[in-house]
Amino acid sequence: MASTRKLYSKYKEQMQQIADIRYAAAVLQWDQETYMPARSIGHRARQIATLSETAHKLFTAKKTGQLLETLAGSGDLSEEERKNIELSLYDYNKLKKLPATFVRAMSEAVSKSYQYWAHAKAANSFETFEDPLDKLIHLKRREASQLGWEGHPYNALLNDYERGCTVSFLDAAFSGLRPPLSALLSSIARQPQVDNAFLQKHYPRELQWQFGLEIIKKLGFDFEAGRQDISEHPFTTSFSSTDVRVTTRISENDFSNMCWSCIHETGHALYEQGLPAEEYGLPLGEYSSLSIHESQSRLWENNVGRSQGFWQHHFPLLLTYFPEQLGSTDPVHFYKAINRVQASLIRTEADELTYHFHVMIRYELEKGLIEGSVKTHDIPAFWNELYEKYLGIGVPDDRNGCLQDVHWSHGSFGYFPTYSLGSLYAAQFYDAALKQIPGLEQDLQNGNTTPLLAWLREQVHQHGRKWTSDELCKNITGESLNSVYFLEYAAKKYHNIYNFTD
């Protein structure tokens, strides 16, 4: 027993030292996307690559594997300790397939690619981003080959974000979503459109910023364990449960852009702040999966942040910030306007229904890029074709088309499908919360989100990576992921907003 305890302490110390290095790299990445001077990219790419390579070498060292194998064979560990070892061994066996030189090359390519993407978006020119993106895509194909895959090379990359996720699973999931969503969209299209013109009035930047800070604080974001900044694309990053950073973006002629970006990223941040601090650097101190992470952001953004009860309470506060813009608007009109359904170009600004088609487009494109049936040069044309096919809209330029998302510049191929999965999990979890938390709807109408956050802390956050997405879903709701919950929630909500019965 004494020997096992000593070995586990050694394991914990080693994992935490590796986490220190990885999070140091993450701090540099956060700075790169917020405050870093433009001319710093060369050295910054090197710095991040060195830290990433060092952490990878330490984690995949032979002695690390031997330590994990020894502890895995011990019978003197607690349930939580056994889970940490099991998950660390899984990670070790996967990551040791990637040479340290490859990890460095990938890190450098990602760091440089982000700057090319930012410049390309500003210049409205995919051509500016094409070569670095092509290099990244080839690296991702190599990564899939090195990790190994069955069925489709994209499966290897999907597994990084959602363990066990496959092309066949997603094809079936999206095939099940498309018909009922299309039918609901058709019914909505036959109704008079909701007027949301007041959301495009002039909303001063500083007032939006202050309102956003006030809202995310009310939702439970701990500013002593995090901060918010501005970036080109909103994101959340974490260096520990006591240091979680969120960003937003502000358009003075589109209030929606800032408000729901803040709420969405706060959902991510609340999850990170709720992870067990004592498990820092260990699997049980990490999130379950990207789809579960997205379930937290989508639940707060949509199930709560776009609900009528939430704005019955918060609309008077919003009115104190923007009396001229909203003086002729009431809470019910505001609620309907922020849920207006209309095909649009930008994924992050899409309504809950058309949003899934934005995800499907990226999924189809990424599958083609990784399998090689779509060439990097053809991305704009392929993108534009799918937007016409799925959403019936023309794409005017690259900035509002294939350059709108930051994910590819991060090398995050396989991430996008988790957005749709997250929305489905969010609806299923929220349904369970309504059944398990007495008076939850009344609490939200009174501006009290504490019971919901406490429930999520207990049901989701505190478990870290202990459960897979499916196991966690079964623990919370009694069944696996079921899109019926989202479809029923959407039908009820939008029948009410658009006042139709078919």
Residues classed as catalytic: 265
| Cα–Cα distance measured from residue 292 to residue 426, given in angstroms and rounded to the nearest whole number | 8
Strands 243-248 and 236-240: antiparallel
Helix (H, G, I), strand (E, B) or coil at 440: helix
- Alpha helix ranges (H) inside 339-468: 355-371, 379-391, 417-436, 440-445, 450-459
Cα 146 to Cα 52, 102, 139: the distances in Å are 18, 10, 10
Strands 226-230 and 236-240: unpaired
Helix (H, G, I), strand (E, B) or coil at 345: coil
Q: SS3 string of 444-479?
A: HHCCCCHHHHHHHHHHCHHHCCCCCHHHHHHHHHCC
Greatest alpha-carbon pair distance for the chain in Å reads 72
State the Cα angle at 143 between 139 and 145, rounded to 5°: 115
Those residues with Cβ within 8 angstroms of residue 378's Cβ, 6 or more apart along the chain or in another chain? none
| Cα–Cα distance measured from residue 210 to residue 321, given in angstroms and rounded to the nearest whole number | 9
Q: What are phi and psi of 390, to 5 degrees?
A: -90, -35
| Cα–Cα distance measured from residue 280 to residue 394, given in angstroms and rounded to the nearest whole number | 47
Helix (H, G, I), strand (E, B) or coil at 239: strand
Sheet holding 243-248, edge to edge: 226-230, 243-248, 236-240
Residue 359 near residue 419 (C-beta atoms within 8 A): yes
Q: Is 13 exposed, middle or buried (0-12, 13-18, 19+ CB in 10 A)?
A: exposed
Residue 296 near residue 268 (C-beta atoms within 8 A): yes
**What secondary structure letter does DSSP report for 230?**
E
Those residues with Cβ within 8 angstroms of residue 93's Cβ, 6 or more apart along the chain or in another chain? 65
Residue linked to tokens 């399998």: 371
